[in-house]
A and B are shown apart, each in its own frame.
Chain A
Amino acid sequence: MTPSTKIKLNYQSSILWGIALTLVWISQSAWIGLMNPYYLSIIIYAGINIILAVSLNLVNGFTGQFSMGHAGFMSVGGYFSAYITTHYFAQSLDSLSQIQQALIFLGSLLAGGCAAALVGYCVGLPSLRLKGDYLAIVTLGFGEIIRVVVLNLDSVGGARGLPNIPGLCSFGWVYTWVLICTFVIWRIIRSSYGREFLAVREDEIAAEAMGVNTTQVKVKAFVIGAFFAGVAGGLFAHTLRYLNPQTFDFNRSVEIIIMVVLGGMGSITGSILAAIFLTTLRELLRPLQEWTQIDFRMVIYSLLLILMMLLRPQGLMGTREITSFFRNRRGDPR
């Protein structure tokens, strides 16, 4: 790819994102309110899952680390932002104007994201020394520790959970963040700066020999991934309006991992598709589950994981993106 096409692509993608953002808010104000609330909630959860899957893909797919505690970051962000809106603004919220409410929500989301990023920094630090499997276990452990700590925090309800969170979230909010998240991560990995992430994935020793500060890169990946997971947690909290430590257990992390693995570790498009697919699948399985009283979902998820690894370990998309299909058709080298 020559420099000129690269600049053109930047320009194109920015415009595309702008158009998508406008479309999101037009549909939010025009017809989303008329939709069946059940379908709307599925679409919103799909959006939250997209944010989670894409941000985890930065860590697991693009940087080649294996984090199993993404739900932990989500819970930090969710609880933090929900605590802010519930404890400081719950009474006065109705008397505020819409813009003020939006600002408060935005602030709480950012605060939640930053809190999660801070925790991500703390998780990233042990990865100074750890590789592969150990890192997986440590992140799993961190996720569990976060859950136990939240369980013991009385100010956020402990085991009873945190009820009465104001329902500030909407379709527009979620998909704005979906766009921000995909845009940021897309631009990161397509920049020369982001090649560091890919280099660490491909060969850590070689990357180090080429002057990449591998530790720093890993920590960066964790921090960025955790930030978006925290934001997703905040969105989730203000959609569901109730948080419980059990919501963010190990199975939740696994669900996000499956999205990343299924879509292809290293493909944003893949993560998006897999997040939509799995969110829909979950709803399709709900009648079956109510009928048999058995949770088939996790059995199917686990079989999916095993079979994927045996038959198609690169996932649906591998490391390709949707754009690479278009570029191939025009005959450009990938």
Chain B
Amino acid sequence: MIELIQHLINGFSMGSIYALIALGYTMVFGILQLINFAHGDVYMVGAFTGFYAIHFFKLAEHPSWLSLALTLVVAMIGSGCLGWCIERLAYRPLRKSPRINVLITAVGVSLFLEFAGQLFFGADPKFFPQVLSFEGDWSFNELKINPLQVLIFVVSIFLMLALDWMIYRTRLGRAMRATSFNLEYASLMGIPTDQVISLTFVLGSTLAGAAGVLVGLTYPKIDPLMGVLPGLKAFVAAVLGGIGNVRGAVLGALILGLSEEFLVGYGAPTFRDALAFGLLIMILLFKPTGLLGLKRAEKV
């Protein structure tokens, strides 16, 4: 029983990381029908921005909630800028070209970030310093809870609610939904679609940047290739929930996080990385629209 709860907590915290990344995938796909392969690497850059912010402001010496907030904000701004640059330099010039070309570009951008990252950050893993001071785990009888995992969950839920509010309750969100519904008609209605698309990239990238910092805090080893697998898995999560659907992405990510955790806990840990792709193939074969995706789902 204790073990089960432990796995549930692990699964939810990993799932919420996947969710933060998956949101970026699903928003960009909703608008441009483009798989932004570089998204996982934006998450990596977010983690590294956080890492350098901590060193630059010497935040590790004064662990507090304020330092955490500052790290998060700097990482989110950094990755947001990167997302904007990627869209502006690599994807926008190709807006009119065949989708396969854009896809190839996306793969290229992803590889470029990974290996340019190795040039700038070094290929060896870095230790992510702690900006919060917790003394050990919280324990309730037998059950031990790592407070950082709870933190991940809480912060992600907060960010996701903020995003949800933005998409469904603001004018900007309405513009995004309209653009994803039909880009051409939206621009005819006076929506500055180019700016909306840029903003979508920025929003998705900020969330990924936040995910990078949160992962760095909990699993404190970061390296330039850390984004590859989480990125791909987050994409699977987005497809699982119905790509283009914001709430579906969160649902899919939590399902993926939990099922991975249970596979590791009770089944075959070495097959962990294959699970996501197996799930993807299954979902595409039997329900290509995903769990929450409808034929004409409301997309952003």
Q: Is the CB of B281 within 8 A of A126?
A: yes
With CB as the reference atom, state the residue of chain B lying closest to A66.
B100
Given the complex of chains A and B, what is the CA–CA distance between A132 and B98 in angstroms? Answer: 10
Tell me if A148 counts as interface (CB < 8 A to partner B).
yes
**A303 proximity list for chain B (CB < 8 A):** 108, 112
Tell me if A151 counts as interface (CB < 8 A to partner B).
yes
| Chain A interface residues (CB < 8 Å from chain B) | 64, 66, 68, 126, 129-130, 132-134, 136-138, 140-142, 144-145, 148-149, 151-152, 250-251, 254, 257, 261, 294-295, 298-299, 301-306, 308-310, 313
- Using a CB-CB cutoff of 8 Å, which residues 266-300 of chain B contact chain A? 268, 270-271, 273-274, 276-278, 280-281, 284-285, 288
Q: Is the CB of A261 within 8 A of B104?
A: yes
**A257-B107, A299-B112 given as contacts; is B281 within 8 A of A306 (CB)?**
no
**B102 proximity list for chain A (CB < 8 A):** 309
B-side interface size class: 35 or more
**A295 proximity list for chain B (CB < 8 A):** 115, 118, 123
**A126-B284, A306-B90, A309-B94 given as contacts; is B271 within 8 A of A148 (CB)?**
yes
Q: Is the CB of A254 within 8 A of B111?
A: yes
**A66-B103, A294-B118 given as contacts; is B108 within 8 A of A134 (CB)?**
no
Tell me if B172 counts as interface (CB < 8 A to partner A).
no
Minimum CB–CB distance for B23 against chain A, Å: 18
**B112 proximity list for chain A (CB < 8 A):** 299, 302-303, 306
Q: Is the CB of A148 within 8 A of B115?
A: no
Q: Is the CB of B284 within 8 A of A140?
A: no
Interface 0/1 of B87-110, CB less than 8 Å to A: 000100110011111111101111
Tell me if B43 counts as interface (CB < 8 A to partner A).
no
**A142-B277, A299-B119 given as contacts; is B235 within 8 A of A137 (CB)?**
yes
Q: Is the CB of B104 within 8 A of A305?
A: yes
3 A-B pairs closest in CB distance: A141-B277, A305-B108, A302-B111
Contact of B35 among A136, A148, A301, A309 (CB under 8 A): A136
**B232 proximity list for chain A (CB < 8 A):** 137, 140-141, 144
**A137 proximity list for chain B (CB < 8 A):** 35, 232, 235-236, 239, 280
Given the complex of chains A and B, what is the CA–CA distance between A286 and B107 in angstroms? Answer: 24
Q: Is the CB of A298 within 8 A of B235?
A: no
**A151-B270, A302-B109, A305-B108 given as contacts; is B103 within 8 A of A145 (CB)?**
no
Minimum CB–CB distance for B150 against chain A, Å: 31
Contact of A306 among B35, B109, B277, B285 (CB under 8 A): B109
Tell me if B157 counts as interface (CB < 8 A to partner A).
no
Q: Is the CB of B101 within 8 A of A309?
A: yes
Q: Is the CB of A152 within 8 A of B100?
A: no
Given the complex of chains A and B, what is the CA–CA distance between A250 and B107 in angstroms? Answer: 11
**A134 proximity list for chain B (CB < 8 A):** 239, 284, 288
**A130 proximity list for chain B (CB < 8 A):** 284, 288
Contact of B103 among A129, A132, A251, A310 (CB under 8 A): A132
**B273 proximity list for chain A (CB < 8 A):** 144, 148
Q: Is the CB of A148 within 8 A of B280?
A: no
Tell me if B261 counts as interface (CB < 8 A to partner A).
no
Tell me if B154 counts as interface (CB < 8 A to partner A).
no
**A132-B100, A302-B115 given as contacts; is B107 within 8 A of A254 (CB)?**
yes
**A144-B273, A148-B273 given as contacts; is B108 within 8 A of A309 (CB)?**
yes
Minimum CB–CB distance for B62 against chain A, Å: 35
With CB as the reference atom, state the residue of chain A lying closest to B117.
A299
Given the complex of chains A and B, what is the CA–CA distance between A144 and B119 in angstroms? Answer: 26
Q: Is the CB of A144 within 8 A of B115?
A: no
Q: Is the CB of B284 within 8 A of A310?
A: no
Q: Is the CB of A152 within 8 A of B108?
A: no
Tell me if B260 counts as interface (CB < 8 A to partner A).
no
**A66 proximity list for chain B (CB < 8 A):** 100, 103
Tell me if B116 counts as interface (CB < 8 A to partner A).
yes
Q: Is the CB of A138 within 8 A of B281?
A: yes
Task: List 29 A-B pairs, Cβ < 8 Å.
Answer: A66-B100, A126-B285, A130-B284, A133-B35, A134-B284, A136-B103, A137-B35, A137-B232, A137-B235, A137-B239, A140-B277, A141-B232, A141-B277, A148-B270, A152-B271, A251-B111, A261-B104, A295-B118, A298-B114, A302-B111, A305-B108, A305-B111, A306-B105, A306-B112, A308-B104, A309-B97, A309-B105, A310-B90, A310-B94
